[in-house]
A and B are shown apart, each in its own frame.
Chain A
């Protein structure tokens, strides 16, 4: 079985099996290891990516369903020159990263929220990241980073 989909802006075609998950496809086959494996049961959110504009846990997303879809991972969020995108920079500025293992998934959760709601409240942000576990930060600086990015984008800051 083969699927063809858009990955971080580029069309790719990959062989897949019935049981292959998107996370395994990304990490093992395509060597995009920014998407993290935390539990492989959809309980922690470390593997979060965006599929057709929606936040998905890639560890429970069947790769065979990818045909014709558009996938965005942490590797597709940075600027073309490889520097951090605005939300990534906001994570740095807010001190929202400690061990860094939940960070890619958190950033994807933040991006997914901002696609749907360009002016979220702090409670909106907390709900949007509520299936992404972070054991280091206590979440507050992550909420700060997403909120700051929302404000900056509303004020015409770079997306």
Chain B
């Protein structure tokens, strides 16, 4: 980029919404109250699979303080909803399908009365056979989890394929073939703020809902549908959201419908905020998965072919698993050149919770599997793991294993070189490594990744933004794209400031609000910075034209004669005109000082039937090195160093970007070591944050982070995606470091300390 940038990429730029957060003044859903407010509480399923024989709410209505109780019968079509697969109900209908499945909701004058109401509901369940092992979900005699089969018979949810040549004959002639299975438990998002909605009835039968969701417009449409109202009758506003990572959509849509219904029935504001236990049981997770990879190479270390399979446990409902399983399929053989590769993916229903979107979206599992497999290949011929990756990794112009060409500049090799040089790799590979006499075993390992940008074949990838100059000389920015901590408010603010030539302090980003923000598609897939950033740039370009018109009119010159110095407008006589004067004059001229802009990612095509095409228009890349110590007596793994480099194109908000990298790595570290959300016969084994161990400040080492700034012409100022891919390499890097330290190959995640201890005994 030749432009000289003032705010975009400036290391001193600060979070646009940080002040209210550090002051404790930011109002999250659970912080909101209104006089006359009712408290809502859920009745959820205590068993994994059962027919609802009786659900009598009358005893609950008799409890003092209880104002209303609702079930699926209170909604249009029993509150049937879901996308891309419609298989969920706002409250359980006919059956419960997992422990935590919401059945009824009580609204009452106090939390205690709501709890008493829940306890008084008469619920009779007839237990059904439980499907808990994803490998047995497709057995002919397995109980049917959904009410109707989704495709074909039984519990099959979706299949995906990749067909790029025929790997079989090549594998047959390969000198070295790794043929292994990799297993992943489910992972909990672990946002520190639990799910919550606050519904306020309005005169005329409409309702306003504050919801800590990710995608307010989709939430609104679902709620309106199940309430039998036009979309405009439901207004969804997103307050600050205390973390999401993909995790606050589908079930927050349920809670939105429930609270809105209760508010409409009672005519009073209703707040529904989940306890931590309710959140852990009820919320969707990262899918548990099984990957089988067969990868072959020549004896001099040239990767040739891959035949791979993937099985995802979607649990009780589809949620986003059809799409995350597709993304897993598009990345399963890793960021390497192949002569031929195939993928065969299935996702199945079980009675284990349910799986949905979570940072990395399928590539977390896919990259962990392939990066351990690649390490195994390197080890088989005694080649240095980074040298092996550099020899085979995707570079600009190469073809991905899916058959499409990497058209844009690919920074993967630079990322690998940076982590190698920065971590002291060459020395540590020699000085560390398995020593049988040591009590504490030390090692260093690497993993890398590619990650398709945006939705890819998952859907149309666009955004709309509105910018409005206000009479107080501020500029408001409106978008349906949301910020749940990842920093998109700051990114949009910096881009708008840069393009308009005003200070970031002048830009005020309004809360996402379906009444005022234009429909913008979902805030998922690390796409907000790219599509929203570009839409902001387009919109700001339109708005600046109007300001220039006012300045030219005031200065009596042509548009072309206007130049800028800071916020000032300069005419031919070189006298600076303050922006306030220009704005005042624009209003005096009667100019409409608002602009809207639209931007869409270039259209690509993937043929889902044939398994061929271009899954994404571009990719981001990265590499991470982990250093570990393993205590032989306990099997406990401590990560003692992390070096991470990400090719995210131009970095717009550097402080936020480094924070995204380190936060993503920390989630990946948990995924590698402690965060298994497992089920036994359908019953979740972790009930609260004592059982489910999120990484603490003592589990995470000091990290060194770095960005390779390749240029993507289509990105705003050259930016690519960032938030998701940065979490996916650390788990395999840790597993590969453990192999260096112990010679034990870890293929199941999280890596159990007890298992490792047994291997070392």
Contact = CB atoms under 8 A, between A and B. Distances in A.
A95 B23 contact: no
Chain A CB within 10 Å, residue with most, of B24, B33, B662: B24
Nearest to B11: A95
Given A98-B486, A134-B192, A139 B242 contact: no
B606 interface: no
Contacts of B663: 98, 134-138
Interface in A36-82: 36-41, 43-44, 46, 73-75, 78, 82
A37 B111 CA distance: 15
Interface stretch (B542-550, B694-702, B738-746): B694-702
Nearest to A42: B690
B23 A102 contact: no
Contacts of B15: 92, 95, 97-98
A21 interface: no
Contact of A131 (B14, B26, B696, B703): B696
Nearest to B653: A95
A44 B192 contact: yes
A30 to B, nearest CB: 12
Contacts of A43: 276, 688-690
Interface string A86-126: 00110111111111111110010000000000000010011
B662 A140 contact: yes
Given A75-B24, A97-B15, A135-B667, A40 B276 contact: yes
Interface in B650-677: 655-656, 658-667
Contact of B26 (A94, A100, A102): A100
Chain B CB within 10 Å, residue with most, of A98, A104, A107: A98
Chain B binding site: helix, strand, loop or mixed by DSSP?
loop
Given A130-B698, A138-B666, A41 B276 contact: yes
A14 interface: no
A97 to B, nearest CB: 5
Interface string B473-485: 0000000000011
B243 A99 contact: yes
Contacts of B31: 27, 33
A133 B692 CA distance: 12
A140 B702 contact: yes
A95 B656 contact: yes
A129 interface: yes
B487 interface: yes
A73 to B, nearest CB: 7
Given A98-B486, A99-B191, A39 B688 contact: yes
Interface string B207-250: 00000000000000000000000000000000011111100000
A55 B28 CA distance: 23
A141 interface: yes
A15 interface: no
B659 A95 contact: yes
Given A43-B688, A136-B659, A138-B665, A35 B193 contact: no
A133 B192 contact: yes
Given A43-B690, A135-B191, A135-B192, A141 B659 contact: yes
Contacts of A134: 192, 663, 697
Sorting the interface of chain A by its residue count into under 10, 10 to 19, 20 to 34 or 35 or more gives: 35 or more
Contacts of A84: 19, 22-23
A143 interface: yes
Given A100-B26, A101-B192, A138 B659 contact: yes
Contacts of B23: 34, 74-75, 78, 82, 84, 88
B151 interface: no
Given A43-B688, A75-B24, A130-B696, A99 B192 contact: yes
Nearest to A78: B23
A135 B245 contact: yes
B385 interface: no
Interface residues of B, number: 57
B27 interface: yes
Nearest to A28: B33
Contact of A122 (B689, B702, B703): B702
Interface in B240-267: 240-245
A73 B24 contact: yes
A33 B702 CA distance: 32
Given A135-B243, A135-B667, A95 B658 contact: yes
A73 B24 CA distance: 9
Chain B CB within 10 Å, residue with most, of A92, A101, A142: A101
A148 to B, nearest CB: 13
Given A41-B276, A130-B697, A97 B24 contact: no
A38 B22 CA distance: 17
Contact of A143 (B14, B26, B240, B697): B697
Chain A CB within 10 Å, residue with most, of B15, B189, B656: B15
B613 interface: no
Interface in A3-25: none
A34 B25 contact: yes
Contacts of B14: 92-93, 95
Interface in B697-749: 697-698, 700, 702-703
B275 interface: yes
Contact of A136 (B30, B194, B243): B243
B190 interface: yes
A49 to B, nearest CB: 11
Contacts of B662: 137-141
B21 interface: yes
Contacts of A27: 31
A46 B194 CA distance: 12
A127 interface: yes
B377 to A, nearest CB: 30
A131 B693 CA distance: 12
Contacts of B20: 100
Chain B CB within 10 Å, residue with most, of A84, A92, A95: A95
- Going nearest first, the 10 A-B pairs with the smallest beta carbon separation are A34-B24, A99-B485, A101-B242, A100-B21, A138-B662, A95-B655, A74-B24, A33-B31, A138-B666, A43-B689
Given A33-B27, A100-B21, A101-B243, 20 more contacts: A36-B242, A37-B30, A38-B194, A44-B276, A91-B22, A93-B14, A98-B243, A98-B486, A98-B660, A99-B192, A99-B243, A100-B242, A100-B485, A126-B698, A129-B697, A132-B697, A135-B189, A135-B192, A135-B245, A135-B694
Interface of B: 14-15, 17-28, 30-31, 33, 189-194, 240-245, 275-276, 484-487, 655-656, 658-667, 688-690, 694, 696-698, 700, 702-703
10 contacts: A35-B24, A82-B23, A98-B659, A98-B663, A99-B243, A136-B659, A137-B663, A138-B662, A140-B662, A140-B702
